[in-house]
Amino acid sequence: MSSETHCQPAIFITGATGFLGGALAAELLNTPEWSEVVLLVRA
């Protein structure tokens, strides 16, 4: 009996508060390829 594990693709982004990071984050959030998008935001 074979057990297959399917990992959902996730991405971790730093610098998402800048102009380029914000545009990249918006594009990735609208892409169904990624199941999870994690953004690091420093305050």
Q: Indicate if the pLDDT at residue 1 is higher than 60.
A: no
In contact, 33 and 10? CB cutoff 8 Å: no
- 25 assigned to some structural domain: yes
Evaluate whether residue 5 is within a structural domain.
no
Q: Are 15 and 42 in contact (CB under 8 A)?
A: no
Can you give the pTM of this predicted structure?
Answer: 0.60
**In-domain check, residue 1:** no
Instruction: Determine, yes or no, domain membership for 20.
Output: yes
pLDDT recorded at residue 20: 86
The encoded tokens of residue 10 equal: 């996730």
Residue 5, pLDDT score: 65
Q: Which residues contact 23 (CB under 8 A, 6 or more apart)?
A: none
The answer on pLDDT for 26 being more than 60 is yes
DSSP 35: S
Tokens of 4: 């297959």
Give how many domains the chain has, as a whole number: 1
Model confidence over 2-25: pLDDT tens digits? Answer: 566 667 788 898 877 788 888 888
* pLDDT the model gives residue 22: 85
